[in-house]
Structure formats: C-alpha cells, structure tokens
Structure 1
C-alpha cells in the first residue's frame, strides 16, 4: 500500500522549505548499495547506528531553536518528482479500479481506513475522550462486514473522517480541510485526506517539540553523556582526537603567536595575546584551554579528519559557523561604516539596520569567490539606502564627496589590510571569549553598539559550546588534569643556539 501522506524531513530553518533530492540517475543504484551494506551489518552495529541517530535528534532539538519537521518538497519537475508522482498516480488509479469494479472490491479501501484510524488516534490528546468514543464508527470489524455485503459507503466514511479532522486540526490547516469538503470524487478525496493527515501529524510533532524543549535540556545532557559513555566503553580510543585537540589549545595559550595582534588573518584570530603569553609561564586555566579549543574549531581545516569526537555531531555546524564568522565580520564592518555616514537617528530608525543586513546577506556567498564584485554591489545599495533614509527623515542627503567616500570605504572592507575589518575581527574574537566566560548579556555591556546588531548570530555559537561543555565537561576535566601543558608547550619551543 502507498497512500500519499506528505513525507517529512528534519529542517533547521523555517525558510528552508526545500529538501535536497538524491541524484535521480543514481538514487536507485545508491539505494541498492545501501541495502546491501545494511544487510551485512551486524545487529550490534545496527543498534549502535540507531542509538546515535536518536541522540542526534535529541541533541538537535536542544541546540537548534529552529529545528522542526517540514514537508519533503522535491524540486518541481525534477526526475524524482515526476517519478514519485507517477508512482502515486498508479497506486490511486488502482484504488479507483477496485471501487468501480462490478462488484466493488473493498480490500484496499479497508486497509486505507485502518491506516486513517491509526493516524487519527495518534493525533488525539488525553482530553479528547468524546472524539475517541466517536471513532468507534470506524470499527474495522463492522466495516469488514459491510464490505462483505457490498454495503460499504466510502464517500460517507470519508466525509465522516473530514468532520473528525476539522475538530482535530490546527487552525493553520482549516483552509486545507475545507478544500477537501468540495471534492466529490471518492478517490481524490481519500488522496487529499492522506495528504492533510500527513501535515497534521507534522504539526503535532512540531507542537510536541516546542512543548518539551524547556524540560528536555537537563535530560538531554544526561542522555547524551550516557550514550557517549556506552560508545566509549566499546571503543577505548574514542577520546584520542579530543586529547590532541585540547593539548593543541593549551599550547596555543602559552606559545606566542607569530602574527601581530592587529592582523586580520584567520590564524591570528585564534591566538592569545603574544605579550601576555610570553610573560605568563604558569599553566593556563583549564577552562580557558577548553574555550581556546572551541575557538580553534572555527578555523578547523575541513581536510583534517582528526576532529574531536565529543563535537562530532556538531562538526558541520561549527565549520559553517567558522565561515559565517568571516561573513559576520564583513557585515559588522559594513554596519560600522554605514553608521558613521548615516548618523545615529537614521541608523536607529525602525528597520534600517535590517535593510542593510538584508543587502549584505543577499551576496554573502560571493564574498569568498567574487569579493570585489560583491562589495561593489553592497556599497552601491547601502549608499542608496542611506541617501533615501536621510531624505525620508527630512535630513540633507549625502554630498557627492561623502557618497564617493562611503562607497570607497565599503569596497575596501574585504581587503586583508583593512583597518575596520581588522578591528571587527579582534572584537568578534574577544566578544566570543567573553561570552563563553561571562555570558552573553554581561559581555554585551562592555562592547560597542556595533556588535549588538549581530548578537543573535553570535549567540548560537556560544549556546552550542556551553551545551557541549555541560555534556562532556567531566571528560574534559579528566583530560586537562592529565595534560602537563607547560612541559608540552616547552617541547614545541626551539632550543636557543
């Protein structure tokens, strides 16, 4: 059986409605290969894979506030989309043939009704006592008897199901249920019912996620730690990369950085102050070692497979944050320059900063591949926004000289020796360090207003690292206690001639 309930996928952001489809030419082959591999997995390994999957979902719910279940929308007119549509059409056309045959065949219709009842029951809350009693109309034994006597009225049953769906669905689905009521074709109606039921199941899951998230955090910490310990018991070298990662972080803290502190290169961003590092011969604070390690992850080489296993579930997320940090530095630099030309009143007017952020983010992907073209586009757009914004507020527009100066300063932001960009890089790093140590709100009180406009983006990294610290803190403490940081750092130093 193949009733078309819309598939659901895990989404990270409500704006990401599309799900990446498999390569249509190789999906069948890949599926065969995957099934072949799965058949050769031991039950023990399969159970481990399932456990990791469950932990990943619990982890995602906690660290990602935008986590939700979304529709599995295939690219329109893609080969996979056409294939699935053809497949479902064949299925539902077969149902039509069964119902229109003489005498009608209700075998598949009964199977569909059984599935509908199961879905409806799964949507019930404990307080839905009356609705649960009303579902006795869908008693399968009774429906089988009617089918045997050719007395099963599929259209009437479908309309009854619609009445139940009207009572159970969220307000956002009212319109879709209402549209089903105008469908007279029994097969099309059943198909529509399964589609909307799939959406209702998705709504229920999302509501449950939102409801339990506040209570899940402490449980998730204990759950993730317990499951990791189970894996560690089976694989004793699981912490090897973690030890290496923390050892490097300790070395970084007490080894002077080769780059000057005002350089905007990525390598200097993870280094501690050279002067302080050179003057301080004491082993660094274990907490600061851990936080240095977290900052080092933002600069991780994607080709380096020795990623700490305690952060493996977040590897892609952290590496994306590292790339995003570079974009944030550009964004903050643009806002800083724009503020100096627009003035405080315009800059703080409702929606103005959001417009500038929107202009910048629209060409974010081009900062790496086409920085000059991207900044030219941004500088022109920002200049126009400031010009129109000043006029709308009754102020004098920028002079031609100031406009040229503004565009020139904005275009130079992506240059390596740009002073504004360099300052923002340092502030971002210092801000992240302070957030890890003191918390977000306390850190914001001692930083310029420019960083306030990107605090939402920075908060994600801080929250993720704090959750990791809570989960794996006991392991980190033990590792750091066994690291003789000073001795290991001295081993890396070159002996004087």
Structure 2
C-alpha cells in the first residue's frame, strides 16, 4: 500500500507540473460533442473565409454578405471574451480562496431560483441526462444482441483509455502507459470481437485494477464497490463515474500546487485579460464610470451641506482670522474627502448599501458578485440581530438586559431565525424574532425574583412585538439606520487599516454591535481582502475614470482644476504636477485599453 501511495504522489506531482503550463485550463479530455462543434465552426469559417480577414473584419465588396459575416465575427469575439473572462475568474478564485477546489458534482440551483441562468443550467442538465441515458441504453442493447454489437463499447473504451492516459505524467513514459497501451489496444480488441473471443468483463476488470493503482486513497472504497457489480453495462457506468471523480481529484491537487504561482501573477493576469475584453467593447466600463461618478456627486452634496453649516457657524464669529480659519478648515476637509483614494473608498462602501442595485455592479467587481452578495446578506443580518437585541433590551428593561446568559441565548436564537428564506418576508421574520425574544425572556425570568418578573409582565409582550416589527422599515428606522452606518464605517475603516498596514489591523467594535462582534470582525476581514485585492488588480482602470470625474486633465492633456460649487467661497481643489498626475497617460478606454496609470499616481 505504501508503494502504491508513493507512485500516486509522484504521478500527482508530475500531472500538476504539466498543468502549471496552463493553470487556468485543467487537463481534461475533450468531449466528442465539443470536437464536432469545433469542426462545424471551422467549416463555417472556411465557407466565409474569403470575406472575413484574419482580424475578423468583413469584406465590403458587393458580393459579400455583410450582416451574416458581421454576425459570425461578433459571435466569435463574444465567445473569445467569454473564454477570457472564465479563465480570469478561475485564476481569481484560486488566488482569492485558499480553500477553492472543484466540487465532486456541480451545484444545482435551488427550486426557488427562477433566473435565466438557473433555467439554463437545469436545461443543460436535463439534456445531458437524456443523452447519457440514450448512450447507456444503446450500449446495453448492443452487448445483449446476438451476435453482440460493440460499436458503442469501443467508443466508450476509447474515451476511458484517453482519461486514464490523461491522468499520467506527460513528460515521461511510465509502466502505466505501457500497460494501458498494451491491454487497451483497440485494434487488437476489435479483432477479438470479430472472432467472437472478446471478453468484455476481463477488459473491465483490467480497467478497475488500473484505477485502483492510480486513484487517491479517498476513492479506494468507490473503486472497491465496482468489483461487486456483475452487470457489464452498470459496471462501465460506474467506471465512468469514478473516473470523472479521479479527474477532479487530480485537478484539485494541481490547484494546490500552482496556487502560489497564480497568486504571484494574479493582478497582472487579471488586468491583461480585462484589457483584452475592453478592446472589443464600445464602453466596457459604463457601470464603473456611473458608480464612481455617482459616488463623487454624493460626496459633493455632503460637502455642500457641510459648507453651509460651517458658514452659518462662522457667521456668529467676527474678524478676519475667524474667516481665514473657516476657509482653511473647509479646504482641508474638501481635499481629504475628494482625494482619489477617498472617492474610491466611498464607492466601495456603496456596494453594502440597502439601496445598491446589483444590476449596476461595476464591471471590475463582476467576478466578486457572489462574495459581495454574501457580504451584504451578512451585514444586514448583523444589523438586524443587533437592532432586535437593542430593542428587546429597551422594552424588557435593564434587570434582564444585564444578564449575559440571557443575551447569549437570545442572540443564538435570533441568528438562526435571521437566516435568509426566500419564502418568508421581513415582517414574518421579525414577528418570529419577537416571539422568540419573549420566550427566551420568560424562560430566563422563571425563578429569578420580582425584578425579572416585572420585565416579562403581559403588557411588555405586545410592546415588544410592536417595537420589533417596526424594524421592517429598515431605510428609515433610526436604530437600524444608525447601526447599518456604523457597520459600513467599521468595514471601510478595517479595509483602510489593512491597506496602510496599520499595526492595529481592526478598529474596536462600535457601540451597539458588540452582540455580533465575531460576525462583524469576520465580515470586516472578508471586505478588506476583497477591496484591497480589487484595488490592486483594477487600480489602473479606476485611475482614468477618477481623473475624468475630478476634471484633472482635458482630452488634449492640458491640466484643469476643479472649482468648488460655491465660487469664491471655497478654495479650489488643486492637484499639482508634483503629485504625479502628468505621468498618467492612459488611452481612452472606450476604444483602446492600454493602461499606464495607477491610483498611486493620483494621490
């Protein structure tokens, strides 16, 4: 057994080494359907080859058919962009998630998910199941016929042979190569079939023995189960399933080996793939531009209100020195709030807002959509549970609110009840929380004396329910809104501390959120990692957008200054040449995507 494990380890390492040459394209055999589709694509391309040049441009001659050829070119470009996006996403997942691996079976969409993507996945699954069932039925009828017909059997053996060889090292020949080539010599097996001497069970037994020698220890039990199958068709069906799992095992091991290499070149790779995608997009950064522009306008509005407030406060003071102090103080605040880094940090914080529409998610954050949705859900849960806890403590009173045992038990139950449920609205969740809070309070007050008994007097039950249910108006409820703002500020502050490598990585947990401190710290760590990795990868794409929003340069390269909305009342936002702005000369991203700037150039 130890010898088998040593051979297995060596094979895995060599397979991983070979996969490192193409880290984003795992070694897998190409399905026959894919080969046929590729052949059809090449045939269509050859039919139109005289009218479509190497760059995908359409011949404008009268004999050409521009609409059809233009459509073919667009389809090919879209497929190429999709492939680039998939490779970049795979590399991003491997680098971002240290536990990332391919699952044994694809995750199926939930029955409640009615999105077009979920419906497409269900349709593909149904089509695949129908095709597989038809193939196994044909194989069974062929083997059981008299005389046996092995056409489908040889197709299956050819694919099994290819899978076994794909799991072996490519750089050198091993004894496994020799044995597989010898025992699965399809020409010799066909001769045996013609002579009526082919023993399919012996061939299947050899395949199972080979799999037992090559598979990871975790698959030993599944391979052993194959030896107990007597029906030949069911045996080959089981062999095919276990081989699929073995391929996934090899790919996952390769991912572990190549992860450090991908992490070292992750940002450059993502930037290059994203730039190639933008080359063929009319405005591939439309959502990103709107995202940053809207953030800038919001910051401007906040500064306008702040300026008016400071102006009213200053009007009560007399003298030139007071006026100069007011102007200088406002100018410092304005420059700090409208610095490129501050604008981008504020933009990142908007993705956590209850009002943020995920359909408007910036293109630069598209690969982190699921992480952002998870963060938003967790942040809402943290705020919701904390709001309910504060409300219940306020209604029930200090005597019971000071008991840590009651608070811990109530928090655990509320966290369970706050888990998202597509079939239940927020009002229903809050009503369930109010009932649970009251039950926990009553249970805790039993035998606790008169003070605790007063906390659970009957009048408090209805008051508790009314107060908790009002939290359904999350956007306007003062407690929820305050705690949500504190949660977002905490996450943003944590990301800034990580970015600047502050000795104290995370700030202290804000008042009112201590009930959920563990979940809050976890969310802050995930948010900081997401934001800072995104900033490092896509900073050069954000730089020209922020320059445009700030009006830091004109299209012809001349420097411009952004003037405050109240002319003459505030200082102009000055971005001098010594801050590196003149060194940033990215080409217009709407047409060409060569990026040479960065956020560091702007600060």
Q: Give the corresponding residue for 2:483.
A: 424
Indicate how the Cα distance of structure 1 residues 66 and 38 shifts in structure 2: closer, same or farther if over 3 A, else same.
farther
The alignment's TM-score, normalised by the length of structure 2, stands at 0.60
Indicate how the Cα distance of structure 1 residues 91 and 386 shifts in structure 2: closer, same or farther if over 3 A, else same.
farther
Q: Distance in 2 between matches of 1:129 and 1:178?
A: 24
Matched, 1:255 2:329: no
Q: Distance in 1 between matches of 2:76 and 2:478?
A: 58
| Local SS of the residue matching 1:282 | helix
Q: Distance in 1 between matches of 2:295 and 2:330?
A: 13
Any idea what the Cα deviations from partners look like across 1:272-302, whole Å, max 9, x if unmatched?
Answer: xxxx989823363321111111112334867
Matched, 1:222 2:255: no
Decide which of 78, 90, 94 is 1:61's aligned counterpart: 94
Indicate how the Cα distance of structure 1 residues 75 and 419 shifts in structure 2: closer, same or farther if over 3 A, else same.
closer
Q: Give the corresponding residue for 1:122.
A: 166
Matched, 1:464 2:518: no
Q: Distance in 2 between matches of 1:492 and 1:110?
A: 81
Alpha-carbon shift at residue 196 of structure 1 (Å):
2.0
Which has the greater radius of gyration? 2
| Local SS of the residue matching 1:444 | coil
**Structure-to-structure mapping, 1:67-466, within 5 angstroms:** 67-70=100-103, 71-72=105-106, 85=129, 87-124=131-168, 129-136=174-181, 137-235=183-281, 237-239=283-285, 241-256=287-302, 280-282=333-335, 284-299=338-353, 307-315=361-369, 318=372, 321-322=375-376, 324-334=378-388, 341=401, 343-344=403-404, 356-361=414-419, 363=420, 365=422, 370-382=425-437, 384=439, 399-403=452-456, 407-408=464-465, 410-416=468-474, 418-439=477-498, 442-448=504-510, 449=514, 450-466=516-532
Indicate how the Cα distance of structure 1 residues 74 and 251 shifts in structure 2: closer, same or farther if over 3 A, else same.
closer
Alpha-carbon shift at residue 472 of structure 1 (Å):
1.2
Q: Distance in 1 between matches of 2:374 and 2:538?
A: 22
Compare 374-383 and 298-307 and name the one that shifted more. Answer: 298-307
> How many corresponding residue pairs?
440
Instruction: Specify every segment of 5 or more residues in structure 2 that has no aligned partner in the other structure, as ranges.
Output: 1-43, 45-67, 112-121, 307-328, 394-399, 553-560, 570-603
Matched, 1:51 2:84: yes
Instruction: Specify every segment of 5 or more residues in structure 1 that has no aligned partner in the other structure, as ranges.
Output: 1-34, 261-275
Kept in 2, the 8 Å contact 1:123–1:201? The answer is yes
Indicate how the Cα distance of structure 1 residues 95 and 167 shifts in structure 2: closer, same or farther if over 3 A, else same.
same
Indicate how the Cα distance of structure 1 residues 64 and 411 shifts in structure 2: closer, same or farther if over 3 A, else same.
farther
Q: Distance in 2 between matches of 1:243 and 1:131?
A: 56
Any idea what the Cα deviations from partners look like across 1:438-482, whole Å, max 9, x if unmatched?
Answer: 029935342244333333334333322212101111233344345
| Local SS of the residue matching 2:102 | strand
Kept in 1, the 8 Å contact 2:102–2:248? The answer is yes
| Local SS of the residue matching 1:290 | helix
Alpha-carbon shift at residue 198 of structure 1 (Å):
1.8
Indicate how the Cα distance of structure 1 residues 489 and 348 shifts in structure 2: closer, same or farther if over 3 A, else same.
farther
Alpha-carbon shift at residue 436 of structure 1 (Å):
1.8
